[in-house]
Amino acid sequence: MLEAGNARFMAGDRAHPHQDIHLRERLAAKQSPFAVFFGCADSRVAAEIIFDQGLGDLFVVRTAGHVVDPSVLGSIEFGVEVLGAPLVVVLGHDSCGAIGATLAASRSGQMPPGFLRDIVERVLPSVLAASRDTVGEPSAEDVERAHILHTAALIADRSRIIRERLDDGRLAIVGAQYALAVGQARFVGAVGDLDGSTATAG
């Protein structure tokens, strides 16, 4: 469903599903999203638009650089445990300001001021991972891919609720890397049971 919706978005042929007045009235009483999206807060990366979904389809959590904190984990747990979504998607993208700021800090040795520092500190392990896995200096795209996979693994590791659902096959986490100019979301890794086969991020 997500791949088909993204294909419609790229082609400029969106179906705009699940946006009629009757559905809106029914959803007022209950929601049953089929996926939880954890993505970057960037204004150009709205999951419902990129994947051509409608009201009640996606439960969306967003922070700059899709950095994980306790409220993020609680929100994802709500989507999985209370709403019953069987899929978590970690959505990163190119030209990410958080990635750029972290790369700049790692090169200069100077951390940004205020709470921007907190974001950079949470992305920095992904810069280290990309540096370990890349010959020469990693590109921003290398770091973003590493950060998507690191985020997926972190969610699986930090949340007991999510780990249990992954282990018993009720949940999967996938990472997707979005290209702003072309509009394509490319799936880059997974944790959990996808189509009957267990996968691991990376």
Q: Where are the domains of the chain?
A: 2-199
Q: What is the mean pLDDT of residues 100-122?
A: 96
Can you state the angle between helices 160-167 and 70-77, rounded to 10 degrees? 40
Task: Indicate the pTM of the whole model.
Answer: 0.91
pLDDT at 198 over 60: no
Q: Is the pLDDT of residue 70 over 60?
A: yes
Instruction: Give the tokens for residue 81.
Output: 């445990």
Contacts of 21 (CB under 8 A, 6+ apart): none
Q: Is the pLDDT of residue 22 over 90?
A: no
| Nearest C-alpha neighbor of 76 from the set 199, 193, 158 | 158
Q: Span 2-199: which CATH code?
A: 3.40.1050.10
DSSP 182: T
* 15 vs 133: CA distance, rounded Å: 40
Give me the pLDDT at residue 114, please.
96
pLDDT of residue 194: 64
Phi and psi at residue 195, to the nearest 5°: 55, 40
Report whether pLDDT(197) > 50. no
Contact 92, 39 (CB under 8 A): yes
What pLDDT was estimated at residue 192?
81
| Averaged pLDDT for residues 98-126 | 96
DSSP for 96-114 reads -HHHHHHHHHHHH--PPST
